[in-house]
Amino acid sequence: MKERLGISNGNRRSYPILGGRLHFVKFETSKITECLDFIYSKQLHRGGMESHYHNSPANGNAIIKATGGGAYKFADLFKEKLGVSLDKEDEMDCLVAGANFLLKAIRHEAFTHMEGHKEFFQIDHNDLFPYLLVNIGSGVSMIKVDGDGKFQRVSGTNVGGGTYWGLGRLLTKCKSFDELLELSQKGDNSAVDMLVGDIYGSMDYSKIGLSASTIASSFGKAISENKELEDYRPEDISLSLLRMISYNIGQISYLTALQFGLKRIFFGGFFIRGHAYTMDSISFAIQFWSKGEAQAMFLRHEGFLGALGAFLSYEKHGLDDLMAHQLVERFPMGAPYTGGEIHGPPLGDLNEKISWMEKFVQKGTEITAPVPMIPPGTTGLGGFEVPLSKGGTLRSDASSLNVGVLHLVPTLEVFPLLADPKAYEPNTIDLSDHSELEHWFTILSGHLPDLVDKAVASEGGSEDAKRRGDAFARAFSAHLARLMEDPAAYGKLGLANLLELREECLREFQFVDAYRSIKQRENEASLAVLPDLLMEIDCMDEETRLLTLIEGVLAANIFDWGSRACVDLYHKGTIIEIYRMSRNKMRRPWRVDDFDVFKERMLGTGDKKPPPHRRALLFVDNSGADIVLGMLPLARELLRRGTEVVLVANSLPALNDVTAMELPDIVAEAAKHCDILRGAAEAGGLLVDAMINTFDGSKNISPLVPLMVVENGCGSPCIDFRQVSSELAAAAKDADLIILEGMGRALHTNLNARFKCDALKLAMVKNQRLAEKLVKGNIYDCVCKYEPAN
Ligand SMILES: CC(C)(COP(=O)(O)O)[C@@H](O)C(=O)NCCC(=O)O
Ligand SMILES: [Mn+2]
Convert the pLDDT of each residue in 460-474 to its tens digit: 999 999 999 999 998
Ligand 1 in reach of 744 Cβ (< 6 A): yes
pLDDT for 373 beyond 70: no
Ligand 1 nearest-atom number relative to CA 764: 9
Burial of 688 (0-12, 13-18, 19+ CB in 10 A): exposed
pLDDT for 12 beyond 60: no
Atom 18 (ligand 1): residue with closest C-alpha? 563
Distance 618 CA to ligand 1 centre (A): 19
CA pair distance 110, 326, nearest whole angstrom: 18
Mean pLDDT of 143-150: 96
Measuring CA to CA, which residue among 649, 126, 105, 650 is closest to residue 408?
A: 105
Do residues 664 and 652 make contact, with C-beta atoms less than 8 angstroms apart?
A: no
Distance 694 CA to ligand 2 centre (A): 31
Ramachandran angles phi, psi of 585, nearest 5°: -85, -5
User: pLDDT band for position 124 (50/70/90)?
Assistant: confident
Ligand 1 nearest-atom number relative to CA 746: 7
Distance 488 CA to ligand 1 centre (A): 23
Do residues 238 and 183 make contact, with C-beta atoms less than 8 angstroms apart?
A: yes
Mean pLDDT of 50-62: 54
Distance 23 CA to ligand 2 centre (A): 31
Ligand 1 in reach of 499 Cβ (< 6 A): yes
Atom 8 (ligand 1): residue with closest C-alpha? 560
Distance 505 CA to ligand 2 centre (A): 18
Strand, coil or helix: 131: strand
Mean pLDDT of the chain: 86
Ligand 1 in reach of 748 Cβ (< 6 A): yes
Lowest mean pLDDT segment, chosen from 358-367, 427-436, 495-504: 358-367
Atom 14 (ligand 1): residue with closest C-alpha? 563
pLDDT for 781 beyond 60: yes
Q: What is the ipTM of this complex?
A: 0.99
pLDDT for 167 beyond 60: yes
CB burial of 95-127 (b: ≥16 within 10 Å; e: otherwise) equals bbbbbbbbbbbbbbbbbbbbbbebebeebeeee
Do residues 648 and 719 make contact, with C-beta atoms less than 8 angstroms apart?
A: no
Ligand 1 in reach of 557 Cβ (< 6 A): yes
Ligand 1 in reach of 621 Cβ (< 6 A): yes
Ligand 1 nearest-atom number relative to CA 560: 8
The pLDDT, as a whole number, for residue 224 is 79
CA pair distance 409, 724, nearest whole angstrom: 10
The pLDDT, as a whole number, for residue 392 is 31
Instruction: Count Cβ atoms below 10 Å from residue 234 Cβ, excluding itself.
Output: 20
Atom 16 (ligand 1): residue with closest C-alpha? 563
Ligand nearest to the CA of 569: 1
- Alpha-helical (H) ranges within 434-539 are 434-458, 463-485, 495-508, 516-538
Distance 560 CA to ligand 1 centre (A): 7
Ligand nearest to the CA of 554: 1
Ligand 1 in reach of 750 Cβ (< 6 A): no
Ligand 1 nearest-atom number relative to CA 446: 18
Distance 753 CA to ligand 1 centre (A): 19
Ligand nearest to the CA of 743: 1
CA atoms within 13 A on the CB side of 149: 3
Distance 519 CA to ligand 1 centre (A): 16
The preferred substitution site among 444, 766, 767, 772 for testing ligand 1, maximizing ligand atoms within 8 Å of CB, is: 766
Ligand 1 nearest-atom number relative to CA 443: 18
Mean pLDDT of 524-546: 97
The pLDDT, as a whole number, for residue 318 is 63
The preferred substitution site among 741, 743, 751 for testing ligand 1, maximizing ligand atoms within 8 Å of CB, is: 743
- Alpha-helical (H) ranges within 558-707 are 564-570, 575-584, 595-603, 625, 632-640, 663-671, 675-683
Strand, coil or helix: 644: strand
User: pLDDT band for position 390 (50/70/90)?
Assistant: very low
Mean pLDDT of 478-507: 91
User: Tens digit of pLDDT for each residue in 247-284?
Assistant: 999 999 999 999 999 989 999 987 888 888 889 989 98
Ligand nearest to the CA of 783: 1
Ligand 1 in reach of 743 Cβ (< 6 A): yes
Distance 444 CA to ligand 1 centre (A): 10
The pLDDT, as a whole number, for residue 205 is 63
Distance 558 CA to ligand 2 centre (A): 10
Ligand 1 in reach of 716 Cβ (< 6 A): no
Ligand 1 in reach of 560 Cβ (< 6 A): yes
pLDDT for 77 beyond 90: yes
Measuring CA to CA, which residue among 746, 118, 146, 50 is closest to residue 486?
A: 118
Measuring CA to CA, which residue among 32, 59, 33 is closest to residue 44?
A: 59
Ligand nearest to the CA of 768: 1
Measuring CA to CA, which residue among 227, 143, 238 is closest to residue 188?
A: 238
Distance 717 CA to ligand 1 centre (A): 8
Ligand 1 in reach of 443 Cβ (< 6 A): yes
Ligand 1 in reach of 562 Cβ (< 6 A): yes
pLDDT for 511 beyond 70: yes
570-579: long-range pairs with CB below 8 Å, 24+: 574/525, 575/521, 575/522, 575/525, 575/526, 575/624, 575/625, 576/525, 576/526, 576/529, 576/625, 579/526, 579/555, 579/625, 579/629
pTM here?
A: 0.88
Distance 415 CA to ligand 2 centre (A): 20
pLDDT for 387 beyond 60: no
Ligand 1 in reach of 742 Cβ (< 6 A): yes
Distance 719 CA to ligand 2 centre (A): 11
The pLDDT, as a whole number, for residue 515 is 97
User: Tens digit of pLDDT for each residue in 203-256?
Assistant: 666 666 667 778 889 999 998 778 999 999 999 999 999 999 999 999 999 999
Ligand nearest to the CA of 741: 1
Residue type, 174: C
Distance 350 CA to ligand 2 centre (A): 28
Ligand nearest to the CA of 451: 1
Ligand 1 nearest-atom number relative to CA 748: 3
Ligand 1 in reach of 564 Cβ (< 6 A): yes
Measuring CA to CA, which residue among 620, 580, 116 is closest to residue 390?
A: 116
Distance 656 CA to ligand 2 centre (A): 6
Lowest mean pLDDT segment, chosen from 194-203, 278-287, 632-641: 194-203
